[in-house]
């Protein structure tokens, strides 16, 4: 049997896009069991190897987890992998073998002002949730988190228990992101930041800004401020990480 390429892209690209959409949109929530390779092959009317190619890519991307004999499942959205792990503050602290705690400082729902609108790329009429919180390691300030959440995309965040734990973890569990962007700066601590982080004024700080989108639109804008010099972002690379 031969193939004539009806659409513009290849078969496995089409299938990849379709499965990716189902996962990222939440139609297949985390933990959902995917059809077996043979069944997918039948339903898409392709050979099993084409399906396997797609599944391999999804696995590499971390969207699915595969276990022999039991099948393939939508991965719990770690939401971040590799480099992106730099903003899972709790994991960072625990990796240092320090006790972690979290302190919510403020949580306000309001209309987006012009500044928010620019950061989140939303219209000014949107409701947003603004959070300010402190990540603590061994009882001492480790990182300041300032976050905007787009309630237009994630309305249920309005009633989430953000006093109990980091908003990042909550979001990542229910809003699969489809794109993210990091910006990393060095800043001089303002008096405000210095007080919160319990450091001297005008000390250098590492500022990580992260914006996240789902297919439904902008999700969150967050700014992590780390006391400088004590903290580093590390990333390792190999040319062919095959």
Partner DNA sequence: CAGTGGTCTAGACCACGAG
Partner DNA sequence: TCGTGGTCTAGACCACTGG
List of residues contacting a second copy (CB under 8 A): 13, 16, 20, 24, 57-58, 60-63, 81, 83-84, 176-188, 202-207, 226, 228-229, 231-242
CB of 234 to a second copy, least distance (A): 5
Minimal distance in Å, beta carbon 19 to DNA? 13
Other CB atoms within 10 Å distance of the CB of residue 119:
17
Pairwise CA distance, residues 19 & 52, whole Å: 13
Among a second copy, DNA, none, partner that 197 touches (CB below 5 to 8 angstroms by kind): none
Choose between 31 and 124: whose C-beta lies nearer to DNA.
31
Task: For tokens 């939303």, name the residue.
Answer: 122
Q: How far is the CB of 75 from DNA (least distance, A)?
A: 13
Give min distance, CB of 24 to a second copy, in A: 7
Closest to 122 in 3D by CA, of 110, 107, 133, 131: 110
DSSP 51-112: HHHHHHHHHHHTSEEEETTTEEEEPP-----GGGGGG-HHHHHHHTT--EEEEEEEEEEEE-
Phi, psi dihedral angles at 240 (to 5 degrees): -115, 85
3-state secondary structure of 14: helix
> Whole-angstrom Cα distance, residue 166 to residue 222?
12
Q: Which of 17, 49, 118, 158 binds DNA (CB under 7 A)?
A: 49
**Token duo for residue 237:** 């690379």
The reply on whether position 19 binds DNA by CB under 7 A is no
Q: Which residue of 45, 159, 186, 238 would you call a contact of DNA, by CB under 7 A?
A: 45
Instruction: Rule CB under 7 A: say whether 1 interacts with DNA.
Output: yes
Which range, of 54-62, 94-102, 115-123, 206-214, touches DNA by CB under 7 A?
Answer: 54-62
Nearer to a second copy, 109 or 204 (CB): 204
- Least CB distance to DNA at residue 230 (A): 40
């Amino acid at each position: 049997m031969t193939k004539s390429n009806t659409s513009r892209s290849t078969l496995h690209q089409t299938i990849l896009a379709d499965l990716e959409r189902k996962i990222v949109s939440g139609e297949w929530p985390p933990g959902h069991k995917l059809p077996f390779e043979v069944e997918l092959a039948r339903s898409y009317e392709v050979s099993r190897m084409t399906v396997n190619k797609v599944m391999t890519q999804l696995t590499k991307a971390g969207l699915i987890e595969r276990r022999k004999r039991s099948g393939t499942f939508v991965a719990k959205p770690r939401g971040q992998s590799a480099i992106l792990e730099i903003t899972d503050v709790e994991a960072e602290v625990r990796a240092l073998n320090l006790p972690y705690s979290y302190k919510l400082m403020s949580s306000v729902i309001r209309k987006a002002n012009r500044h928010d609108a620019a950061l989140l790329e939303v219209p000014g009429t949107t409701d947003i949730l603004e959070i300010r919180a402190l990540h603590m390691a061994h009882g001492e300030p480790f990182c300041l988190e300032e976050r905007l959440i787009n309630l237009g995309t994630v309305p249920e965040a309005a009633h989430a228990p953000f006093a109990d734990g980091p908003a990042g973890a909550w979001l990542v569990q229910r809003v699969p992101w489809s794109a993210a962007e990091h910006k990393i700066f060095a800043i001089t601590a303002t008096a405000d930041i210095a007080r919160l982080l319990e450091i001297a004024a005008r000390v250098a700080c590492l500022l990580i800004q992260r914006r996240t989108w789902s297919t439904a639109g902008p999700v969150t804008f967050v700014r992590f401020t780390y006391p400088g010099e004590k903290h580093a972002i590390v990333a390792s690379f190999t040319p062919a990480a095959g």
